Amino acid sequence: MTASSRQQPAKIGALVPVARARTNSHAMDATGLVALEGTMHPILKAHGTIILAGVCEQPMKVLTKAGLHQRPGILFAANPRAALEFAPIQLRI
């Protein structure tokens, strides 16, 4: 599938539904970081917000070193439940 043939997700009001990947990944390398950034790029380019929840210790070090914690539109939560609790506040919904 080419980038031009990909369909944009349908909007629900001001929200765009996002698939949640549940992996419990305990390690991340540069390849994983590049793949994650590639996945996040179209969302951030459209001024969307991404909440990464329950990130394990080693991947969090990689993400922090890459500066993701300082990028606009990327938020972190301790776990999925915490993300659901603060998402309406952060997203002003």
d(CA 16, CA 51) in angstroms, rounded, equals 13
Spans of all domains in the chain:
23-91
The per-residue pLDDT for range 24-58, each reduced to its tens digit, is 778 899 999 999 999 899 988 988 888 888 899 99
Residue 66's pLDDT band (boundaries 50, 70, 90)? very high
Contacts of 25 (CB under 8 A, 6+ apart): 32, 56, 59
The per-residue pLDDT for range 6-27, each reduced to its tens digit, is 555 444 445 555 555 556 778 8
